[in-house]
Amino acid sequence: MKKRDTKVLPVLGMGCAACAGRVEELVKKLKGVEDATVNFAANTLNVTYFPADMTLGDIQVAVQAGGYDIVIEEDNPLEVSEALNRKRYQRIKRQAAGAWLLVIPLALLHMAGGHTVYTGWVMMALSLAIMGLFGRSFYVNGVRHALSGNANMDTLVALSTSIAFLFSLFNTVFPHFWHDRGLFPVVYYEASGMIIAFILLGKLLEEKAKNSTSSAIRGLMGLQPKTAWRVTGGKEEETPISNLRKGDLIHVKPGEKIPVDGTVEEGESFVDESMLSGEPVAAEKKAGDRVLAGSINQKGAFTLKATGVGHSTVLAHIIRMVQEAQGSKAPVQHLVDRISRWFVPVVVLISILTFITWLVVGGEVYFPYALLAAVSVLVIACPCALGLATPTALMVGIGKAAGRHILIKDVYALEHLCKIDTIVLDKTGTLTEGVPRVVDSYWLSKPDICYLDILYTAEMASGHPLASAVIEWLDDSGASLFRPEHFETVTGQGVRMQVRDITYWVGNETLMKSFDAIIPEEVSKQTIRWQNRGYSLVFYGEGTTLLAAIAVSDRIKPTSEMAVSRLKREGMEVHLLSGDNAEAVETVASVLGITCFKGGVLPDGKEDYIKALQEKGRQVAMVGDGINDSQALARADVSIAMGKGTDIAMGVSMVTLMTPDLTLISEAIRMSKQTVRLIKQNLFWAFIFNLIGIPLAAGVLYPVNGLLLDPVFASAAMAFSSVAVVTNSLRLKFIRT
């Protein structure tokens, strides 16, 4: 099977949604490209291709042939994209400021008597300066795309302003042409200038708003420092992180951000990992412990050995995941893309028909009105609002989710989470902590320190999973290790050892019975209650005497009960599915109030269970964290993995929760509902604007009330329609989830 690769690359030269559609079309046609999507809101190309069949250079050549460009040479395309966006914003800012500086006197001349011969020439000069100096890109891009057989918003702006300017220039140079016909030679220089000024202002506001939608990516990128202290030959030197390699030794000082993933070699400290894991309490780190790039070292200093640098760090993976998700397309966007592809040619056709209709109805006398209406149609039509409606909402939604430690891999998950009516939860590691802990104990006599030392020593030497629970339980008891006279592991039962010629044992009920130890009635009743709750039992004895019975269980997470309660309150049907024994599953289900549960389920059974729910018409989300959940996760309509689960579970899942807080599930669902609602609002207003604006600009109301839309107002409306769509998307940042 051929290896494929996915890249997110900055795109240069796009002016509207039609441009994004054209770039996407160019790349998709290439042999060796599996899929490509262009995000106009982020100015990025998300391409999946086969490196064996083609290179990024081949893609760049194809894009350049269409009049655009992509950035492929840089090590960090995310930072390049940010820099290009800032540069683009500053350029548009200068153009808008210059255009308005000349438009103001142009408008004043028009209002003061712009129809005289002398003021006409001055207005022509001002209008020409605006078009040539500050609106030049509209004409250059418009001509370039027209020559390549395409049209975009620049085409509409170039056509409308050129027509208005050339008509005005004709009237200025040959005013007698209209005088001879009893008409006054009207000029529209102010329209040409103000159209460009308003559109540049709209683009400026649009760029500012679009940049705000990428704040989540910038926040994640800001977690990584620019330099690090590399240790070479016992000496420290500050070096850019781009120069670091796996195996390098790096010294991290108090208060610094950790620059790479690695393991602590020397020293110890507490590290704040809340920005990645969501855990509010700093984690203690000592030799051998793993640390992650972007987390913050607190008081101590330590030296780490780099295991992941650059693009291979966990932080870089999260950034790529968020950006790829933001660049993916919702199903509804494909319809919008098809509309945008034909939008400009259709608008040009409507403009021509408008001009012809006015002349047919009113004759030569209506020529100025025909021209005015045709120009207004060209100006008011806005493919950008349509193109920005979906991606801006998705970018804000996915970015906001990332800020709440919810990583959404693609927009399918974000769009379908709001449709989910059934949640299937795994038990171990999802509803429970996934780590066995001592939950109760019964001592037949008061446990003195000698007995605790013996139990501690026995469990430290044992390799059984339950032993770690007992060790953790005894850590704060003051128990200490000693060297036993003899130690033996009894396979499948436990351990026994000699201390001062006395045999002590720790293990299961079978081991206890082998020593003929008697269980008092009160202990027997307690162990039966523990077994009914699904607890695992550890027995500890001296010779034929039982000293203690210990109950071990995987504790329910503190947030599980609240999470299940919220999901049920929001109308979800909650199921519990686990490979654990039926008693343990029933205990967890009863505590959490889950009525649909099943234990002892193998991976195939989990998949079949979800399939059966789907056949009943249910929309199912599966939440799990283990390899045994991967089949069920793949089968579910939406798959959710716990961030501390296995790589396989996270690889299959569409959504990853980076913290153990299960209340994030209901938060993700609410965020999906809010995002989809905003997309629908944006698309509604974008379509309505064009459906109402274009006929209004064509003059449909003129026979009724004499209303004919001025191109200046049309350009202002068009410019602010895009801004309104992006601003509406940005509201999602401030909506409570």
Show which residues are catalytic.
426
Torsion sign, CA atoms 127, 128, 134, 136: positive
Cβ of 528: how many Cβ atoms within 10 Å?
10
Q: In what order do the strands lie in the sheet with 296-297?
A: 283-285, 269-272, 296-297
| Paired tokens of 413 | 């998950």
Pairing status of strand 283-285 against strand 269-272: antiparallel
CA distances for 50 relative to 17, 19, 201, 584, 630, angstroms: 27, 25, 42, 48, 26
Residue with tokens 């698309």: 683
Q: What residue ranges in 409-471 does DSSP mark as E strands?
A: 422-426, 432-443
CB 333 within 8 A of CB 680: no
C-alpha radius of gyration, the chain, whole number: 35
Give the DSSP per-residue string, 159-205: HHHHHHHHHHHHHHH-THHHHTTT------HHHHHHHHHHHHHHHHH
Integer Cα distance of 569 and 593 in angstroms: 12
CB 200 within 8 A of CB 716: no
CB 154 within 8 A of CB 15: yes
Q: Which residues contact 624 (CB under 8 A, 6 or more apart)?
A: 425, 426, 429, 430, 630, 632, 633, 640, 641, 642, 645, 649
Per-residue buried b or exposed e for 552-582, using 16+ beta carbons within 10 Å of the residue's own CB: bbbbbbebbeebbebbbeeebbbbbbbbbee
Q: Which residues contact 666 (CB under 8 A, 6 or more apart)?
A: 563, 566, 567, 570
CB 248 within 8 A of CB 230: yes
Integer Cα distance of 549 and 446 in angstroms: 13
- The four Cα atoms 565, 569, 573, 575 give a dihedral, to 10 degrees, of 0
Integer Cα distance of 644 and 290 in angstroms: 14
Integer Cα distance of 40 and 38 in angstroms: 6
Q: Which residues contact 697 (CB under 8 A, 6 or more apart)?
A: 373, 376, 377, 379, 380, 709, 714
Residue with tokens 């795109």: 11
| Paired tokens of 12 | 């240069």
